[in-house]
Amino acid sequence: MYTLLAFALAATALWILKLYAGWRAAVSSIQNYPGLRYVFGPESFMMQWRIPYLSAGNFSLWLKKHQDFVHFDSDIISSVRWLPDPSSMLLLADADAIKEVTSARTRFPKPLHQYKILTFYGSNIVVTEGDEWKRHRKISAPSFSERNNRLVWDETMLIVQELAEELWKGRREVAVDNIVDLTVPMALFVIGVAGFGKRMSWKEDLAVPPGYVMPFKDALHIVSNDLWMKIVLPAWLLNLGPTKRVRNFRDAYTDLERYMTVMIQQRKTAEKKQERYDLFSSLLDANEDEGDGQSRLSDSELMGNIFIYLIAGHETTAHTLAFTFIMLALYQDEQEILYQHIKSVVPEDRIPGYEEMGKLTYSMAVFLETLRMFPPVNAIPKHAAEDSVLVTQNMAGEKLTVPCPKGTALLFHTPGLHYNPRYWEDPHAFKPARFLGEWPRDAFLPFSSGARSCLGRRFSETEGVAILTYMMKQYRVEVRDEPQHAGETFEQRKARLLRCKSAITLYPVKAPLVFKRR
């Protein structure tokens, strides 16, 4: 017994010594550049909160924003962790350094192993690099066309019009317990029709085709809401379905795969091809146009790409719109400026057309300012494929050189960049007008940057501007009065409504608003 205990203690001591030696080597590799020193680094999704000495806190990237960079007096800081293995990382809130990294893709490639969890239905443009990425991009990029943007605009207007004239018909005021309960279906319906070619309605759809468990709309909604289960839960537990919610997700995931498979087969076997501009149809058309069979995407790759469109285009836009309505409800003066601008562009009682989107500059500015203040993704990873040196500056503007040896992980710190006063005057203030003139485009990363930037940026902006324009033309949005919050100050109200959590993207926990017809 004592021999076994002694062996265990010796093994533990050896393990700790090995960890310490690895940690010292990681610190030395970056020449002890100032930064975070914790057992678990900020990249650990299992440790969300900052705990002294133990966890840097993944969610603390959002909570701290630019504070860590100020504390360590540099727009690039380091992070060295102990577990699961000692390693070093550089966190970047420097626009020039980020531009250098995104421009030198061979020196700073994507760490593909971190993205493998996104191969839900198949390989796709997000999880590939090099020639494989070029193959995916060549076929995927044409889907995001001007015709698709027009489809996004037109269908979005039909969706919000149905909401106002059918679901909310005759109601002067509509209270919403939580704004995401409104924006999530809005974005879901848009991606349904403009992404998959499946028009959905605010009215209940109970039609379930033979062989399916639920309608397409429900399958899409459940999978997009509970996708974390596919990441966190092992396959055997998903198949077992210990709770109703897990069983619903399992069935929805299977049904969505079946729906997409049938859509692909129907498209392939159709005698006459319909001219359609939704992303799925355009993706299939581009794939069929590839003369070289080896260049074509397989059925699983087609599903993998369209599913990435869903994740990127649904949740991010839904949550950004939720934050937008919250900010407009809090800042009534900004809402009035937006309303008057919309009236100046579309004075008549009619629905704005896609050709007027370019004139709706304040709608776009409000949407972009919300993306700046509430970036959907807090961190974008890269890694150094060779020994490099990055250049940054301290808070006084003095030049600093940062060692970046081969194998070092890099993290674009989106909140750190978006709240960096070097690029954004008064960064904590909601000022949409900052996007009306010249603004620092290299310091704006909600859609990433460089060649790997999001293909769906215009899709998201079109949808966001369309929804904001229609809703603000028809309604005034205010914070819902609740007796338990009657005595709160403006700052207390703001903090309550903007309390956030992060799953796949950043989202407000609970924000009750009211829409009042103008």
Residues in binding site for heme = 454
How many whole angstroms from its chain centre is CA 292? Answer: 34
- What's the CA gap between 304 and 221, in Å, rounded? 17
CB 87 within 8 A of CB 78: no
SS (H, E, C) 14-68: HHHHHHHHHHHHHHHHCCCCCEEEEEECCCCCCCCCCECCCECCCCHHHHHCCHH
Alpha-carbon span 318 to 506, nearest angstrom: 10
What DSSP line would sit under 187-219, residue for residue? Answer: HHHHIIIIIHS----SS------TT-SS-HHHH
Q: H or E stretch including 87?
A: strand 87-92
> Residues within the annotated binding site?
454
C-alpha–C-alpha distance, residues 288 and 226, integer Å: 33
C-alpha 54/C-alpha 46 separation (Å) is 12
The whole-angstrom separation of Cα 301 and Cα 195 is: 16
Parallel, antiparallel or unpaired: strands 76-83 and 35-40:
parallel
- Nearest Cα to Cα of residue 64 among 94, 101, 36, 34: 36
- Helices and strands (DSSP H and E) totals, the chain: 19, 12
Q: DSSP state, 503?
A: S
Bridge partners for 381 per DSSP: 411
* Three-state helix/strand/coil letters over 133-149: HHHHHHHHHHHCCHHHH
Task: Pull the structure tokens for residue 90.
Answer: 């550089």
